[in-house]
């Protein structure tokens, strides 16, 4: 016994224009063979020559010139759709129609019709895409049922795979492609493309290994397109595939060569970087050496004068009681000046030696003070006063002390040279700690000549320099940028020509472990 169906909805159209003709064409042509219960039964229009009336007559539908006739019980109309714009007909129908007949306005119909048109256009475009794909395919094509049985196979597939049609048709796809053991389906990253289509409800494309007739493994690019039935089930799968084994081998060889080239280039870049670091360090060392010579001469001259005084006090071979106080004072001054010379020389040697760079805890405030000692004579010669605002609670930083000192020397010497002609230069150095960001900031600000705006973007380029010939080769800031970047930090510059320049350095408190490893661990070779 058949299920009892719901009553059919009989629809009448008011207005025989273009919309009416389109609606009849898309809903009534061939409706006798469809399962649709609701259908159009009548059309009303004053003009017997309107396209909707003409088509309705061909379809055997009732046609009337006055829509009032649609109200008659023998027409069995349940819904009137108004296809004529304007509100007068809608208002009249709403006022005159029987209560059992519903009405749809022109505006409501137009909204739905346009929405249907959009979907129809999308389906048409999709069909065109599929047709284009199918028409352009010159590879293997097979047809598979939902039970994974092969029902069709083209000659290209049979020839390449080494089978005859009788050996393939009626067999399960995995028996042909993977052997009796089904070794590749659903293993590792590979998933059965048919199952993926069913699961995702769309076509699937992937690269899969398959066995040919001789048991040789080949690699295929497989595309599966489902054919859908009216009830939403899949009737067939269309598989389009191509053998990419040789292409895959070539790609793997190219990848291997590229990896080798990258390794070689990385090694060359590391060597170049090390040379640049050393070259910049030697340039800084040259500047420091010239400055330190003058710095050491002062305490040595003082020591020589004190030695002459001591000789004079002991000229007669004895020290008089009244001279002992002066004698001890001179010895104390000699000791102080000697330690001063020793400290300057030690700092200079520590910076100049080609030593192993260790990543360890560094007190940035102390490192700044050491660097200022090395540059003290340069600052004095250029009449630069240093103002320090160092955070006393600054935590220690995991970093390379030698490399950070190289960065600070560059900033200080550049600032001194920028204020060389001002006569009242001030270098302000500030350190601060931002616990929320887990980083510290070091800033160097001078009131020198500043940097032209057009040069700011090129400031950290290798060999870019605005100094006079012989004053520098343009490596200092480039090397400094690289060092700070390797420490996971950043450098920002702010400058106004003729007024000031500020370099702000941000450094994370904990040096990244992977960066330490790349630099050779805790004792990487510089």
The answer to whether 420 and 382 are in contact (CB under 8 A) is yes
**76 to each of 59, 91, 101, 451, how far by Cα in Å?**
18, 22, 9, 90
Q: C-alpha distances in angstroms, 86 versus 92, 101, 209, 519?
A: 11, 20, 65, 80
> Which percentage of the chain shows pLDDT scores above 70?
74
Residue 338 has pLDDT above 60, yes or no: yes
Dihedral sign, Cα of residue 160, residue 166, residue 170, residue 172: negative
When the pLDDT of each residue in the chain is averaged and rounded to a whole number, the result is: 78
Q: Which stretch of 14-18, 215-219, 437-441, 458-462 has the lowest confidence by average pLDDT?
A: 458-462
Among the ranges 199-203, 380-384, 493-497, which has the highest mean pLDDT value?
493-497
pLDDT at 266 over 70: yes
Where is average pLDDT lowest: 151-165, 183-197, 490-504?
183-197
The model's confidence at residue 30, banded by pLDDT at 50, 70 and 90, is very low
The full set of domains in the chain, from first to last, is 10-132 (3.40.50.720), 137-243 (3.30.450.20), 265-525 (3.30.565.10)
* Residue 101: exposure state from Cβ atoms within 10 A (0-12, 13-18, ≥19): middle
State mean pLDDT over 355-370.
80
Mean pLDDT of 507-513: 70
- Reduced to 3 states (helix: H, G, I; strand: E, B; else coil), residue 476 is helix
Single pTM value for the model:
0.39
pLDDT (average), residues 233-258:
86
The sign one gets for the Cα dihedral 453, 455, 461, 462 is negative
Report the percentage of the chain scoring pLDDT > 90. 21
Q: Which residues contact 77 (CB under 8 A, 6 or more apart)?
A: 10, 11, 12, 41, 42, 70, 71, 101
Report yes or no: 520 and 450 within 8 Å, Cβ to Cβ: no
The pLDDT score that the predictor gives to residue 526 is 32
**pLDDT, mean of residues 106-127:** 88
Instruction: Write down the pLDDT at residue 286.
Output: 61
pLDDT reading at 372 higher than 60: yes
């Amino acid at each position: 016994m058949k299920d009892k169906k719901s009553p059919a909805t009989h629809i009448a159209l008011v207005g025989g224009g273009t919309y009416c003709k389109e609606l009849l064409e898309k809903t009534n042509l061939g409706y006798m063979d469809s399962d649709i219960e609701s259908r159009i039964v009548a059309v009303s229009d004053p003009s017997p020559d309107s396209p909707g009336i003409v088509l309705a007559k061909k379809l055997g539908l009732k046609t009337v010139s006055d829509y009032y006739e649609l109200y008659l019980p023998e027409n069995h109309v349940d819904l009137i759709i108004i296809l004529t714009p304007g509100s007068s007909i809608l208002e009249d129908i709403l006022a005159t129609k029987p209560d059992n007949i519903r009405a749809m306005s022109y505006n409501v119909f137009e909204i739905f019709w346009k929405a249907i048109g959009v979907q129809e256009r999308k389906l048409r475009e999709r069909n065109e895409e599929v047709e284009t794909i199918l028409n352009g395919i010159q590879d293997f094509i097979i047809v598979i049922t939902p039970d994974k049985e092969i029902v069709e196979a083209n000659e290209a597939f049979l020839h390449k795979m080494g089978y005859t049609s009788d050996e393939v048709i009626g067999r399960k796809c995995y028996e042909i492609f993977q052997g009796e053991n089904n070794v590749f389906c659903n293993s590792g990253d590979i998933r059965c493309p048919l199952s993926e289509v069913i699961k995702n409800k769309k076509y699937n494309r992937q690269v899969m290994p398959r066995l040919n007739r001789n048991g040789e493994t080949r690699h295929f690019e497989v595309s599966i397109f489902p054919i859908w039935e009216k009830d939403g089930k899949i009737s067939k799968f269309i598989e389009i595939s191509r053998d990419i084994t040789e292409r895959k081998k070539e790609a793997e060889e190219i990848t291997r060569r590229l990896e080798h080239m990258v390794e070689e280039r990385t090694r060359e870049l590391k060597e170049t970087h090390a040379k640049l670091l050393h070259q910049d360090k030697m340039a800084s060392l040259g500047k420091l050496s010239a400055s330190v010579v003058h710095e050491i001469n002062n305490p040595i001259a003082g020591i020589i004068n004190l030695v002459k005084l001591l000789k004079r006090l002991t000229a007669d071979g004895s020290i008089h009681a009244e001279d002992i106080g002066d004698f001890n004072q001179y010895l104390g001054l000699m000791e102080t000046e000697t330690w001063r010379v020793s400290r300057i020389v030690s700092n200079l040697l520590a910076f100049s030696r080609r030593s192993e760079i260790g990543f360890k805890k560094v007190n940035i405030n102390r490192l700044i003070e050491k660097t200022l000692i090395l540059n003290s004579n340069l600052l004095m010669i250029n009449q630069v006063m240093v103002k320090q605002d160092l955070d006393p609670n600054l935590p220690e930083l995991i970093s390379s002390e030698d490399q950070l000192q190289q960065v600070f020397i560059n900033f200080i010497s550049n600032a001194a040279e920028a204020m060389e002609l001002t006569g009242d230069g001030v270098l302000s150095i500030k350190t601060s700690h931002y616990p929320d960001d887990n980083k510290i900031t070091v800033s160097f600000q001078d009131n020198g000549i500043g940097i032209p705006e057009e040069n700011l973007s090129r400031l950290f380029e290798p060999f870019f320099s605005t100094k006079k010939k012989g004053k520098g080769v343009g490596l200092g800031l480039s090397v400094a940028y690289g060092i700070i970047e390797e420490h996971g930090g950043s450098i920002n510059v702010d400058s106004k020509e003729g007024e000031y320049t500020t370099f702000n350095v941000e450094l994370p408190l904990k040096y990244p472990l992977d960066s330490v490893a790349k630099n050779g661990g805790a004792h990487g070779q510089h």
